[in-house]
């Protein structure tokens, strides 16, 4: 009998929610028009777009007109830095040492163009101290960009305290909330962030769609020029089916948010307790307190993460060693290195990320599989 696979890589991409699939199929089948067209077909497409925008805005604590649909969080992040650079002479940007490549790479380009980028260090638990961070900001900082919840460790940054401090000083704040949205509540207006990036496929929507929240009144220079879609903030005919799926996924996530985050946190904690009992020497990467409910990053000393990942994959369990976008490369995770954990420990680490479909039975099966795999990889001596 072949057993169903166990998918513990939701931070790379979450399975499509049934509600999202239904909404997408409905649009693909029944909505032929362009949302910019005047006729009845156009009107129906416009309605689908508006409904999705309301659903996404509701989950983010935003007004619908503050949502700009994009191809994902990568595009949303790039758009923010492009907008900043087009409206200002080179100045300074402050960020952390554990950002996603879709922030790190555009910042690298700005540095080549004369901008200064201050990358604030994190503790060995991956945390950022809000007071220290605020105190470190130079007078010419125009924008602070921070990853709200880390994709690799799940560690949460103190975004409310930082937002408060920045508001007092009139410095703009961009949040990368890709991993946060759909897993924990967030209210973009209450936080008074200026912009925020988010992605549909991390919360059970389709891949290739996401959004940029831009608070009302915040200056924004579009990266894509052309038609007047998205209130002239992102030209091009909308990915309507994807957007409808995104909206449906947001609504579904919002309805179950509180109960689901508790349920998943209990499963994640069970996984960690079980690993600690059964795998000698296992270490948790990142603190246990300020962390996403679904994420566990752990190091298995003297066992290479890639070998563990491959063995688990053969046994039907999908996990990750480092972030998905970095897979295929043998380089140790820059996030774990920035936490000061060292290249060896970084190469011996796995990320388990749970989701709505994860069951207690799956966690028990993983707990039965991991210890003998670790023992086997350790015995093979292939640590490098
Ligand atoms: C923190 C973070 N930011 C950005 C992205 C990129 O999002 P997207 O795949 O929508 O471009 C991801 C995941 O891939 C992520 O985890």
Give the residue numbers annotated as catalytic, written as ranges: 325
d(CA 186, CA 171): 20
**Residue for token pair 């190091």:** 299
Cα separation, 103 vs 78, whole angstroms: 7
**Distance in angstroms (rounded) separating the CA atoms of residues 350 and 164:** 35
Q: How far is the CA of 164 from the centre of ligand 1 (A)?
A: 25
- Measured in whole angstroms, the distance separating CA 241 from the mean position of its chain's CA atoms is 22
Ligand 1 pocket residue status of 78, Cβ below 6 Å: no
**Residue 297: strand, helix, or coil:** strand
Looking at ligand 1, which atom is closest to the CA of residue 150? 1
Does residue 74 line the site of ligand 1, with CB under 6 A? Answer: yes
Cα(105)–Cα(116) distance, integer angstroms: 14
Q: Considering only CA atoms, which of 188, 167, 184, 160 is closest in space to residue 62?
A: 188
Instruction: Round to whole Å and give the CA distance between 381 and 248.
Output: 48
Answer yes or no: are the C-beta atoms of 202 and 13 closer than 8 Å: yes
Mutate to test the pocket of ligand 1, among 152, 178, 297 (most ligand atoms within 8 A of CB): 178
Reference 360, options 273, 231, 256, 247; nearest CA is 273
User: How many Å lie between the centroid of ligand 1 and the Cα of residue 231?
Assistant: 24
Q: Which atom of ligand 1 is nearest to the CA of 202?
A: 13
178 in ligand 1 pocket by Cβ < 6 Å?
Answer: yes
179 lines ligand 1 (CB under 6 A): yes
Could you count the other beta carbons within 10 Å of the beta carbon of residue 121? 15
Q: Give the CA angle between residues 24, 25, 26 to the nearest 5°.
A: 90
For ligand 1, the distance from its centroid to the CA atom of residue 178, given in whole angstroms, is: 6
Burial label, 330 (beta-carbon count in 10 A; 0-12, 13-18, 19+): exposed
List alpha helices for 61-209, DSSP H. Answer: 73-87, 101-112, 130-135, 159-169, 188-191
Q: Helices in 113-187 by DSSP H: which ranges?
A: 130-135, 159-169
Mutate to test the pocket of ligand 1, among 70, 102, 103 (most ligand atoms within 8 A of CB): 102
pLDDT tens sequence for the chain (384 residues): 567 999 999 999 999 999 999 999 999 999 999 999 999 999 999 999 999 999 999 999 999 999 999 999 999 999 999 999 998 899 999 999 999 999 999 999 999 999 999 999 999 999 999 999 999 999 999 999 999 999 999 999 999 999 999 999 999 999 999 999 999 999 999 998 999 999 999 999 999 999 999 999 999 999 999 999 999 999 999 999 999 999 999 999 999 999 999 999 999 999 999 999 999 999 999 999 999 999 999 999 999 999 999 999 999 999 999 655 555 556 789 999 999 999 999 999 999 999 999 999 999 999 999 999 999 999 998 655
Compute the distance from residue 117 Cα to the ligand 1 centre, in Å. Answer: 21
Q: How far apart are CA 273 and CA 4, in angstroms?
A: 24
Q: Which atom of ligand 1 is nearest to the CA of 76?
A: 11
| Cβ(144) – ligand 1 distance below 6 Å | no
The answer, yes or no, to whether any atom of ligand 1 lies below 6 A from the CB of 174, is no
Q: How many CA atoms lie within 13 Å of 29's alpha carbon, on the beta-carbon side?
A: 6
Interatomic CA distance for residues 81 and 11, integer angstroms:
24
What is residue 382's predicted lDDT score, i.e. its pLDDT? 65
74 CA to middle of ligand 1, Å?
Answer: 6
State whether the beta carbon of 358 lies less than 6 angstroms from ligand 1: no
Residue 193 CB coordination number (10 Å): 31
The sheet with strand 210-214 has its strands ordered as 67-70, 210-214, 195-199, 172-176, 141-147, 92-96, 116-120
> What are the E-state strand segments in the chain?
6-7, 67-70, 92-96, 116-120, 141-147, 172-176, 195-199, 210-214, 283-284, 295-299, 317-318, 349-353
Q: Is 106 in the pocket of ligand 1 (CB under 6 A)?
A: no
pTM flag (> 0.75):
yes
Q: Is the CB of 199 under 6 A from ligand 1?
A: yes
Question: Contact, 346 vs 304, CB < 8 A?
Answer: no
CA of 150 to the centre of ligand 1 (A): 10
Nearest-CA residue for ligand 1 atom 10 is: 72
Atom of ligand 1 nearest to the CA of 72: 10
What is the 8-class DSSP label of residue 301?
T
Which of 46, 49, 48, 63 is CA-nearest to residue 213? Answer: 63
Measured between alpha carbons, how far is 157 from 171 in angstroms, rounded to an integer? 18
């Amino acid at each position: 009998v072949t057993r169903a696979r166990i998918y513990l890589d939701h931070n790379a991409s979450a399975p499509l929610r049934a509600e999202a699939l239904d909404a997408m199929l409905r649009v693909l089948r029944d909505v032929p028009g362009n949302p910019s067209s005047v006729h009845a077909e156009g009107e129906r497409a416009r309605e689908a777009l508006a409904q999705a925008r309301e659903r996404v805005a509701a989950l983010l604590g935003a007004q619908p007109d503050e949502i700009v649909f994009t191809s994902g969080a990568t595009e949303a992040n790039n758009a923010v830095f492009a907008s900043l650079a087009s409206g200002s002479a080179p100045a300074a940007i402050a960020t952390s040492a554990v950002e996603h490549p879709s922030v790190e790479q555009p910042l690298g380009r700005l540095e080549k163009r004369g901008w200064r980028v201050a990358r604030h260090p994190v503790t060995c638990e991956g945390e950022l101290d809000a007071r220290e961070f605020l105190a470190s900001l130079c007078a010419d900082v125009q924008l602070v960009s921070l990853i709200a919840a880390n994709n690799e460790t799940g560690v949460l940054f103190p975004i409310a305290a930082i937002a408060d401090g920045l508001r007092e000083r009139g410095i703009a704040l961009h949040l990368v909330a890709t991993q946060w949205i759909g897993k924990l509540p967030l209210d973009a207006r209450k936080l008074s962030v200026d912009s925020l990036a988010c992605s549909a496929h991390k919360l059970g929507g389709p891949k290739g769609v996401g959004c940029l929240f831009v608070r009302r009144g915040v200056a924004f220079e579009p990266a894509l020029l052309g038609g007047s879609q998205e209130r002239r903030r992102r030209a091009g005919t909308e990915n309507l089916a994807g957007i409808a799926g995104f909206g449906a996924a947001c609504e579904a996530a919002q309805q179950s948010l509180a109960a689901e985050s508790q349920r998943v946190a209990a499963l994640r904690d069970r996984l960690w307790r079980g690993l600690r009992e059964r795998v000698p020497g296992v270490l948790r990467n990142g603190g246990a307190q300020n962390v996403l409910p679904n994420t566990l990053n752990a190091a298995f000393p003297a066992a290479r993460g890639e070998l563990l990942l491959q063995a688990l994959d053969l046994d039907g369990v999908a996990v990750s060693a480092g972030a998905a976008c970095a897979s295929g490369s043998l380089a140790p995770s820059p996030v774990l290195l920035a936490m000061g954990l060292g290249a060896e420990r970084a190469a011996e680490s796995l990320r388990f990320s749970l989701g709505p479909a994860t069951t207690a039975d799956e966690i028990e099966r993983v707990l039965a599989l991991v210890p003998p795999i670790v023992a086997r990889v350790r015995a093979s001596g292939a640590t490098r």
